[in-house]
Structure 1
Amino acid sequence: MSGASNVYRRYVALGDSQSEGLGDGDDVVGLRGFADRLAERLDAAAPGVTYANLAVRGRLAGQVRAEQLGPALALRPDLATVVAGVNDILRPRFDAAEVAGHLEEMFAALRSAGADVATVTFPDIGRITPLARPLAPRVYELNDRIRAAAGRHGVVVAETALQEATTDPRMWADDRLHAAPLGHDRIAAALAHALELPGSDDTWTRPLPPMTVPTGLRAAAHELSWAAGFLGPWLVRRLRGRSSGDGRTAKRPELLPLGRGAIR
């Protein structure tokens, strides 16, 4: 990994809904997301960046590898981000070794093709969504395997899992599954810092000002509202074998300068 000495010109994002940008804009006005925000930081550091985003919501790590790795390699990126695995964590059947294996295959292929690669570790979703607390061991195991795989291939890791700020509710959209605009901005800042981009620093790790947290009946009502509005529909899709990404394709499949190409 060459860090700040490298000038990136061709950035490709692979992944699921977080890389696509859910929670940061919408399908009407367009999605932004951490990958778009990182592309903007790359362009600010060295103008002339071209950027493609192959991510599609709902994709499992194996699907990201099967559907996006080939097109990504064809684009010959000098920088790629690979962020996937949360959808796998949420499924009844979860094999951390299998998920990490798909990620490692992508790390290895992209690095062998000459790209610098960056990824992230995942915060404990049980601290964001109390009903997800039983999934914490899955998150910890996958993060450990991501770190190990990254270490074997010289992949940069933005350790978003280790920072208290990343589980602040204000970092997350109402569905608690996707980062809010502030959260996406922090992820982009974390990746920029890990890549040692000019102008980057550790301010992304700093906590937000204190906030009032609902308690008692207000907290219970808040949880019920979330379950009815987001958890219920998500479970219905799972039971029907459907995905939020069914029928969708990448929002930005070609390398284009910033400001060009459809964003959706």
Structure 2
Amino acid sequence: MRDGDHLRYVALGDSQTEGLGDGDDVNGLRGWADRLAEQLAAACPGLQYANLAVRGRVAAQVHAEQLGPALALRPDLATVVAGVNDLLRPRFDADEVGGHLEAMFAALTAQGARVATLTFPDLARITPLARPFGPRAAALNQRIRAAAGRHGVVVAETAHHPVVTDARLWSPDRLHAGPLGHERIAAAVAHALELPGSSDAWTHSLPPEPAVSRWRAVGAELRWVAGFLGPWAGRRLRGRSSGDHRTAKRPELLPVGTQVSLPEERTK
């Protein structure tokens, strides 16, 4: 990497990297990439940071829409996290998704950037209704590890640690990390990158919670289906995405802490 006064960090991805679940569209999203940028800035004064991620994007869209702008910014560090939206769709091809990720890894590392990514947890450990997606997540993680190994990409292995699927790390929709989850993801990537002050503390379990009765658990599942799964499935059936008509929240390199445009100013 360059010296601290010229370090450039660019984040590519979907809603997790955009920061959904950590803040809101009225007051602003933070998210794990923003948190990682803050940690980088503490170690490297003068850090410039761009976040090209847009919610709802599948890996092919991240590749087609974000790689070119990312390369134009000539990052010293890039994070590439995509694929969850793919494995949630009816048709999923792990090789195709892995191919898009590998193409981004290859292009960024060939330009001299250090690249980091992460693996995904088994969603069935978050909600039983997601059990069919477990093998898909495992297959995608296998492709991510193999592609990362071929291109010297750093992998934060979030898939291996039980705390990652603790409900307290997730937002009520169970699809996006909550503030504590985004904090842990940022810490995981920082640890994988061996940043000053990082450690494996992000893998530590939270204090035990009181047991929940079976009926309360069933009620929570039903409320989740009605409040989140139903609307999400409805958008899929109508061919709509939460990211329709949206653009990146931070498309240009700016110092960490610099204000960006309001959400309504970032719609097409």
TM-score (norm 2): 0.95
Aligned to 1:195: 193
Aligned to 1:128: 126
Aligned to 1:164: 162
Aligned to 1:56: 54
**C-alpha displacement of 1:261:** 3.4
- Is it true that 1:140 corresponds to 2:138 in the alignment? yes
Q: Distance in 2 between matches of 1:96 and 1:6?
A: 38
**Aligned equivalent of 1:221, options 201, 219, 222:** 219
Aligned to 1:21: 19
Aligned to 1:258: 256
Q: Distance in 2 between matches of 1:106 and 1:261?
A: 28
Aligned to 2:109: 111
TM-score (norm 1): 0.97
Letter in 2 for 1:262: V
- Deviations along 1:88-139, one digit per CA (max 9) or x if unpaired, are 0000000000000000000000000110000000011111011001110000
Aligned to 2:172: 174
**Aligned equivalent of 1:204, options 197, 202, 205:** 202
Q: Distance in 2 between matches of 1:257 and 1:77?
A: 14
Letter in 1 for 2:80: V
Letter in 1 for 2:190: A
- Is it true that 1:67 corresponds to 2:72 in the alignment? no
SS at match of 1:211: coil
**C-alpha displacement of 1:213:** 3.9
* Residues 53 and 250 in structure 1, CA contact (< 8 A), matched pair in contact too: yes
Any stretches of 5+ residues in structure 2 without a counterpart? 264-268
**C-alpha displacement of 1:216:** 1.5
* Residues 252 and 261 in structure 1, CA contact (< 8 A), matched pair in contact too: no
Q: Distance in 2 between matches of 1:164 and 1:104?
A: 27
Any stretches of 5+ residues in structure 1 without a counterpart? none
After TM superposition, the runs of 4+ consecutive aligned structure 1 residues lying more than 3 A away are: 5-8
**C-alpha displacement of 1:215:** 2.7
* Residues 121 and 143 in structure 1, CA contact (< 8 A), matched pair in contact too: yes
- Deviations along 1:49-96, one digit per CA (max 9) or x if unpaired, are 010000000000000000000000000000000000000000000000
Aligned to 2:45: 47
- Is it true that 1:155 corresponds to 2:153 in the alignment? yes
Letter in 2 for 1:163: H
Q: Distance in 2 between matches of 1:86 and 1:262?
A: 27
**Aligned equivalent of 2:9, options 5, 8, 11:** 11
Q: Distance in 2 between matches of 1:212 and 1:114?
A: 49
SS at match of 2:172: coil
Aligned residue runs from structure 1 range 226-245, under 5 A: 226-245=224-243
Letter in 2 for 1:125: L
- Deviations along 1:1-21, one digit per CA (max 9) or x if unpaired, are x7xx97571000000000000
